[in-house]
Amino acid sequence: MIARTATTTTATALAALALLGLAAAPAQAADKRMVTYDSASPDARRLTGAGLTFVFTRQFFQTRILAVRATAVPVGVIPRPSRDPEANRQMDALMGEDRGKGTLYEIDPEKAEGKVMIQAFCPGSVKGWLAIGAVNARKPLRVYAFGDDGSGGVRKCAAMDFTWRGDWQMPRPKGGDTRKAVFRPDYGRPGS
């Protein structure tokens, strides 16, 4: 009986430690990374030039895009998860065979070059969204660009295909603001 109680107590203690570890894991498990994709389709070349670079976190099986930059020029957007169920439904329907495969983000027009990028992706639109496929090493990526249609609806502006180029080590910026560092014009140059 004593051995069984000790085993039960040990098992309970181990379970409690495991739960504490899981509670702390979200803060520690976010893996901040940066990847670059080269333009592969005509729409991708026309709208992004050389391609796109993504800054993202991966926590367990969830990926969250923090910043999207044109690879060859210093412009980009700070996306935020799209929380508009009606717009999300419309975008999902517009993706055809890719329906349900991309994560939907709204382009923040007030951050970075949000307004400029919305106009570049969808001329005439005030709001813009991106549906970004799964970011996986050495695999192609499809990104859809959407804009508002001026009457409360959503229109598909482009389906862009990209090929994997590389995974980059994230900088350790002074002050710890990765987004701010990635959007500086001198980002990636020595001393920045």
Residue 79 belongs to some domain of the structure: yes
88 domain-assigned = yes
Asked, for residue 84, whether it belongs to a domain, the answer is yes
In a domain, 13, yes or no: no
- What residues form DSSP beta bridges with 77? 68
Q: How confident is the model at residue 178 (pLDDT cuts 50, 70, 90)?
A: low
Beta-carbon-side half-sphere exposure of residue 128 (alpha carbons within 13 Å): 29
Q: Residue 100 carries which DSSP code?
A: T
Confidence check: pLDDT of 65 > 80: yes
Examine residue 10 and state whether it is found in any structural domain, yes or no. Answer: no
User: Is residue 142, in this structure, part of any structural domain at all?
Assistant: yes
d(CA 87, CA 93) in angstroms, rounded, equals 10
Predicted confidence (pLDDT) at residue 188 exceeds the cutoff of 90: no
Q: Is 158 inside a domain boundary?
A: yes
What does the pLDDT average to over 133-158? Answer: 94
State mean pLDDT over 39-48: 96
Q: What is the residue range of 50's domain? A: 30-182
Q: What's the length of the chain?
A: 192
pLDDT tens string 3-43? 444 444 434 333 333 333 334 344 444 678 899 999 999 99
Q: Considering the chain, what is the average pLDDT of its residues?
A: 81
The reply to whether 4 falls in a domain is no
Number of domains in the chain: 1
User: Distance (Å, rounded) from C-alpha 14 to C-alpha 176?
Assistant: 35
Structure tokens at 159: 């389906």
pLDDT at 171: 63
